[in-house]
Amino acid sequence: MFGPLAIAKATGTLVAVVALRSMRIPFPAPLAHPQAILAGVLDAGGNVLFVLSSRFTRLDVAAVLSAMAPAMTVVLSALILREAVSRWQTVGVLLCLGAVALLAL
């Protein structure tokens, strides 16, 4: 069940290591950027929860809710990083929320 997810994460890690080594960039200290660690944990957790939800619930619900990921990225960047939200980003978030509301009907 988690095999493809583990392979995808391992492949991404391998590509990152090869890229750092080929460009002769030193590895960052593990605790130098705690936000990156948090982002990785949340990303992996989201992937695990999607796999579980697609396995044990209706796939249409899991797919629509996972499609909310870009909307959550916009919301979190506005809340945490205080980034400005463009008109098109606002439209996209509202469309995602509308899709979830329609799915609930």
pLDDT per residue as tens digits for the range 66-89: 778 888 888 888 998 899 999 999
Every domain of the chain and the residues it spans: 1-56, 58-105
- The pLDDT assigned to 53 comes to 85
The pTM assigned to this predicted structure is: 0.60
Dist. CA 65–CA 27, nearest whole Å: 35
- Contact at 8 Å (CB) between 84 and 55? no
Cα 77 to Cα 3, 7, 61, 98: the distances in Å are 31, 29, 25, 21
DSSP string, 11-26: HHHHHHHHHHHHTTPP
Give the rounded percent of residues in the chain with a pLDDT score beyond 70.
100
